[in-house]
Amino acid sequence: MATGFPIGDTIAAIATARGRGAIGIVKVSGPDALRILHRLFKPSGGGGSAAAGVNEARRLCHGWIRHPDSGERIDEVLAVWMPGPRSYTGEDVVEIHGHGGGQALTALLEAVLSAGARLAEAGEFTRRALLNGRIDLTQAEAVADLIDARSQRALRIAGRRLEGELGRQVEAMRQELLDVRARIEAEIDFAEQLEEESDLQALGVLIREQMAPRLGRWIAHYDAARGYLEGFKVAVVGRPNVGKSSLINRLAKKERVIVTEIPGTTRDLVEVSVNLGGMPLTFTDTAGLHESRDPVERIGIQRTQRYLDECELVVFMVDAAAGIGAQDLCIGEFLQQRKVLVVFNKMDLVAPGKRPKPPESWARWPVAAISARCDENLDELETLLVQAFEKGEESADDDIVPNLRQRELLSGCLERLNAAAERLEAGGGGELASIELAEAVGCLDQILGRREGSDVMDQVFRRFCIGK
Ligand SMILES: Nc1nc2c(ncn2[C@@H]2O[C@H](COP(=O)(O)OP(=O)(O)OP(=O)(O)O)[C@@H](O)[C@H]2O)c(=O)[nH]1
Ligand SMILES: [Mg+2]
């Protein structure tokens, strides 16, 4: 298999997140990992037993790292050696646990590189684990999905895939498809020899009734969990100056987008991710909807209209102090086919009891009355937002839930299974059905990373961070 990386050299990277932190870890993997540690590490105490500690597998050893060239003391650390093949990568792995913080860790990494390691590429540790047979591609992807998880549910789903269950089920399905294909080929030869009716139709029924529904279920699981995996998309729309950007800043709890008293401030779509009640929501701030002569603003408004199709929910904001005007009614009409939550903003300027009354055509939409500026009633709005996406748990998290890439390949596989079943059941389509099944197996091979060539691998590992 093409890897895109030379394998066999020793790589190193900072494995912990950037920024201030109590502890930071530099990870080293490859045949020279232990030798590199010996060049840098001086165990504390100076006694024989401590020196031996670092040569003892999977035991943390306290000591100091010195620069291999200058001898300068760099950090007080705990070091551990995890010999292959029972390590994350399957190779000899060394971890040096130093103090967190950008400068300390960079100095530590620099010392490791000076002692003979090469800086790892993004995802290279996991890629080595894959190439050394420690994990399969579905597990490698699960590692990235776990790191990127935007909700507790996404975390559980990725954790389940990390155990290898999806890979096992896909592998089993692949074997079944190869068996069915072998039987089709045999039937074709057999029918020629005996000039008898073949049993191809029964195989068509088997594919349609037993194999295709299983794939359909996995795809449905993704679709049901999609919002938790990718984030629910919410567009905030309304007339210019009603307070859309102010609301997004409030929900994000920081000044993410520009707010001014000038109408037409927001011109482009700006996405802001927020986690509300365990639900990952991606809010999009939009340009105010109205007739505009300004060409830049008009482009922004057109983009908003196109973007709405991608959103699961539209927050439709109205200036409660100004009341519901003709433009609001016009936007309301425009949103009729969509899932909408109406937000009356600027309630701080509205006299008690003077809240606007929504027209009949908005009656089925829930309403929240808030003040983004004064932080009023935002809790109520958050509850309504969360409720808008709560559909009950359609799929248990310990079911097979693929990620988006896997889902696309599963749906390609399903299409080919259906085509094969149709040909077989119609009678006489053995050869063509066999080709469809070969392509279906190809889709599953891509899920498992069995296909030659590094493009699939590159696609997967591009998502990784350095140090994983
Ligand atoms: N009194 C009051 N003013 C508010 C409230 N929310 C926003 N504003 C003010 O209204 C003005 C417009 O706010 P923005 O958040 O920029 O409005 P917008 O809808 O994003 O405007 P555009 O991007 O121009 O479409 C600013 O001066 C805000 O401070 C509110 O709840 N009460
Ligand atoms: Mg704005």
Q: How confident is the model at residue 452 (pLDDT cuts 50, 70, 90)?
A: low
C-beta 243 within 6 A of ligand 1: yes
Record: fold of 163-440: Rossmann fold (3.40.50)
- Mean pLDDT computed over 337-348: 95
- Residues 24, 74: Cα–Cα separation, whole Å: 13
Residue 290 CB less than 6 A away from ligand 1: no
Q: Whose CA is nearest to atom 12 of ligand 1?
A: 241
Is residue 297 within 8 A of residue 303, CB to CB? The reply is no
Domain ranges of the chain: 11-136, 163-440
Residue 113: which residues within 8 A CB-CB, separation 6 or more? 12, 119
Q: Which two tokens stand for residue 209?
A: 């009734």
Q: What is residue 113's three-state secondary structure? A: helix
Q: What is the best residue among 318, 373, 374 to mutate for testing ligand 1's pocket, by most ligand atoms within 8 Å of CB?
A: 373
Q: Which atom of ligand 1 is nearest to the CA of 249?
A: 15
Check residue 296 and give its pLDDT: 73
Mean pLDDT across the stretch 130-137? 90
Report whether residue 263 contacts ligand 1, using a CB cutoff of 6 Å: yes
| pLDDT attached to residue 2 | 41
434 lines ligand 1 (CB under 6 A): no
Indicate the residue type of 334. Answer: F
Over residues 97-114, mean pLDDT: 91
CA dist 68 and 309 (Å) reads 58
More confident residue, 453 or 221: 221
Residue 289 CA to ligand 1 center (angstroms) comes to 14
| Rounded CA separation 176/180 (Å) | 6
Q: What proportions of the chain, in percent to the nearest 5, are helix, strand and coil? A: 45, 15, 35
For residue 12, pLDDT over 90 is answered with yes
Q: What is the rounded end-to-end Cα distance, in angstroms, of the chain?
A: 21
Q: Using a 6 Å cutoff on CB, does residue 286 contact ligand 1? A: no
CA 80 to CA 129: how far, in whole Å? 19
Decide whether any atom of ligand 1 lies within 6 Å of the 292 Cβ. Answer: no
Nearest ligand, measured from the Cα of 317: 1
CA 194 / ligand 1 centre spacing (Å): 81
3-class secondary-structure state, position 244: helix
Contact 1, 133 (CB under 8 A): no
CA distance 238 to 294: 18
Q: Which amino acid is at 395?
A: S
Percent of the chain whose pLDDT exceeds 70: 92
Confidence of residue 279 (pLDDT cuts 50, 70, 90): confident
- Across the chain, mean pLDDT equals 87
Averaged pLDDT, 110-128? 93
What is the 465 CA–ligand 1 centroid distance (Å)?
Answer: 38
| Distance (Å) from CA 293 to ligand 1 centroid | 21
- Please count the other Cβ atoms lying within 10 Å of the Cβ belonging to residue 181: 20
CATH of 11-136, one of 3.30.70.360, 3.40.50.2300, 3.30.420.40, 3.30.1360.120: 3.30.1360.120
Q: Whose CA is nearest to atom 25 of ligand 1?
A: 240
Looking from the CA of residue 264, the nearest atom of ligand 1 is 24
- Which atom of ligand 1 lies at the shortest distance from residue 239's CA? 25
pLDDT in tens, 387-419: 888 765 555 556 789 999 999 999 999 999 999
Three-state DSSP class for residue 315: strand
Please tell me the residue having the least CA distance from ligand 1 atom 17: 243
Convert the pLDDT of each residue in 178-237 to its tens digit.
999 999 988 887 766 655 556 888 999 999 999 999 999 999 999 888 888 888 999 999
Higher pLDDT, 265 or 29: 29
Q: In the 3-class helix/strand/coil scheme, how is 5-52 assigned residue by residue?
A: CCCCCCEEEECCCCCCCCEEEEEEECCCHHHHHHHHEEECCCCHHHHH
What is the per-residue pLDDT for 255?
A: 84
Cα–Cα distance for residue pair 213/211, rounded to 1 Å: 6
Closest residue by Cα to atom 26, ligand 1, is 261
pLDDT at res. 453: 60
| Position 347 pLDDT exceeds 80 | yes
With a 6 A CB cut-off, is 348 part of the ligand 1 pocket? Answer: yes
Residue 343 phi, psi (nearest 5): -125, 115
Q: What is the pLDDT of residues 322-331, one digit of tens each?
A: 999 999 998 9
Q: Is the model more confident about 224 or about 360?
A: 360
Hey, what are 312's tokens? 């699961």
User: Cis link prior to 85 (omega < 30° from 0)?
Assistant: yes
3-state secondary structure of 89: coil
Neighbours of ion ligand 2 (CB under 5 A): 244-245, 265-266
Q: What percent of the chain has pLDDT over 90?
A: 57
For residue 352, the number of C-alpha atoms closer than 13 Å in the C-beta half-sphere is 0
Tell me the C-alpha to C-alpha distance, in Å, between residue 66 and each of 39, 106, 107: 8, 14, 10
